Chains A and B, each alone.
Chain A
């Protein structure tokens, strides 16, 4: 029965605890000696940064919830009471408000890193899928959180987005009524959004745990996309990456703090400082910046999809937009199987690299188009380009990138891969050659 020898910590209290619940052994294994590719660049900081932002959001959110009142008559003023009367309330609220943006920035960079270096490929498909689930949960949480201050943009954003479900055939309107708990976005809606906004972050935390657990089964990908072939390719997580992650996180927090203290309303909309009024529609309803690309995709589908020459309508424009919007995220779930190339890192994939550049430009273009009014246009000289065309073009590029991946994998000639991670670092020394010859199996 004695498991004593497995725990050998110097501190007797730690030892006693660990023999009964081996948390210290686990921490030691997963965050102490955990073999981590030695060649991470700073893009690999953003997982840890996203984690810190999640904790920041939960802590600041719990304190805000202690002062907030989820009632349509009181919500706006209770938020302003936090801003004006609660001790450091302005600080905590601005942390939460800007924290949402900086959580999304970190996660977007994290996702982009996974995309660029092929982190979604075998054997990390499930790790990637769990990540997409986290991203979806984040979007749901952020959407409901934005409703809580009960400003004009809160109310009208919620109205527009919940109304999207009415496009679904047959059950659409029933679903919308169910979401609202009434016949418009109103007090029941606000109450349930508050309850869910409080709940979902803990669901996110649980799924993040699964994400990390899955990561520690496969180990991390790295900028070369070549699996570590032995100890010479890895470093213990501590102290090498604990210190590197700490440094990166503090730099990120410094940028975050600069916005909290010197531009706290940079990401916000002036209209949300006007209390919600169902009688007055704002001239221009825009979602938060992190939803803009999907909002632009939604608005890009301005046409019904019919069977040619018959006039038979298959999909109405509104439903088409909703399908495209959800499809733009859903396509991430099947990405591991769309990409047929055996090579992970874009560094060795010339066509994929161009594709990802086009995708990135399309993504930012969509973000830009989503922020403009529906009838806006570019004026280049005498030429007028309606932005809806720009959005449609960018939508095409967005989906084209994913849907072309099966063919890109077939026609692309990858650059020669290094034999191992250590090899380019060591400059092809004898030790590296010897190491690669060793049939080392990673645990």
Chain B
């Protein structure tokens, strides 16, 4: 077709060299499509990531609890990550019954000492319970609430995040 165009920027011959070679043309289409798809894919990420916990939420993801005022035999409840955490300062009898238990009978066969370690007990006397462990009637407990048999599946969260911390117990 004749190049007598009125549109600026399309001088004679400009079309023939850019559009003449079919393989070159296919490459341009492919490059345009690929770049566009990559751009669209990358653009999606900020929108998805905005749904992740925000900085202020993350700033509250760890909390310090002062355990000093908790007396032997006393339980306190603190809120952490939107859920209650039950902290009990066990009596010597409770500790004894916990250490005497035959771990092989338990669903989670772990020694009390190891559990205390994991639960981050400064002084080895306090026990942090995640809430999933004692909805009444759902499980059978033996002091201090070791699970022997599950009636309902156990939501297993929280406890593994509790680590020893110099100022007390820090859930992080």
Contact = CB atoms under 8 A, between A and B. Distances in A.
Interface of A: 41, 59-60, 63, 66-67, 81, 84-89, 91-92, 243, 246, 424-427, 429
Given A63-B47, A91-B46, A92-B46, A429 B54 contact: no
Given A66-B51, A246-B36, A87 B46 contact: yes
B6 A87 contact: no
Contact of A63 (B50, B56, B57): B50
A424 B50 contact: no
A246 B46 CA distance: 23
Nearest to A239: B29
Contact of B5 (A85, A86, A243, A425): A425
Interface string B31-53: 01000100000000011011110
Given A63-B51, A67-B54, A89-B54, 20 more contacts: A60-B47, A66-B50, A66-B51, A81-B56, A84-B55, A84-B56, A86-B50, A86-B54, A86-B55, A87-B46, A87-B49, A87-B50, A87-B54, A87-B55, A88-B47, A88-B50, A92-B46, A92-B47, A425-B4, A426-B4
Contacts of A92: 46-47, 50
Do most interface residues of chain A lie in helix, strand or loop, or is the interface mixed? helix
B68 interface: no
B151 interface: no
A91 B45 CA distance: 12
18 contacts: A66-B50, A67-B54, A85-B54, A85-B56, A85-B57, A86-B54, A86-B55, A87-B52, A87-B54, A88-B47, A88-B50, A91-B46, A243-B32, A246-B32, A425-B5, A427-B2, A427-B4, A429-B2
Contacts of B46: 87-88, 91-92
Contact of A88 (B4, B6, B7, B49): B49
B167 to A, nearest CB: 26
A431 to B, nearest CB: 10
A254 B159 CA distance: 49
| Interface size grouping (class) on chain B | 10 to 19
B50 A67 contact: yes
A67 B54 CA distance: 10
B29 to A, nearest CB: 8
A88 B50 CA distance: 6
Nearest to A42: B7
A89 B46 CA distance: 8
Given A81-B56, A84-B55, A246-B36, A89 B4 contact: no
A89 B50 contact: yes
A424 B52 CA distance: 58
Contacts of A426: 2, 4
A364 B62 CA distance: 56
A85 B5 CA distance: 54
A66 B51 CA distance: 8
A81 B36 CA distance: 32
A89 B51 CA distance: 10
Contacts of A243: 32
Contacts of B2: 426-427, 429
A426 B52 CA distance: 58
Contact of A425 (B6, B32, B49): B6
Contacts of B47: 59-60, 63, 88, 92
Contacts of A424: 6
A429 B4 CA distance: 11
B156 to A, nearest CB: 28
A379 B64 CA distance: 66
B74 to A, nearest CB: 36
Nearest to B44: A59
B51 to A, nearest CB: 7
A67 B46 CA distance: 14
Given A426-B2, A426-B4, A427-B2, A81 B54 contact: yes
Nearest to B1: A426
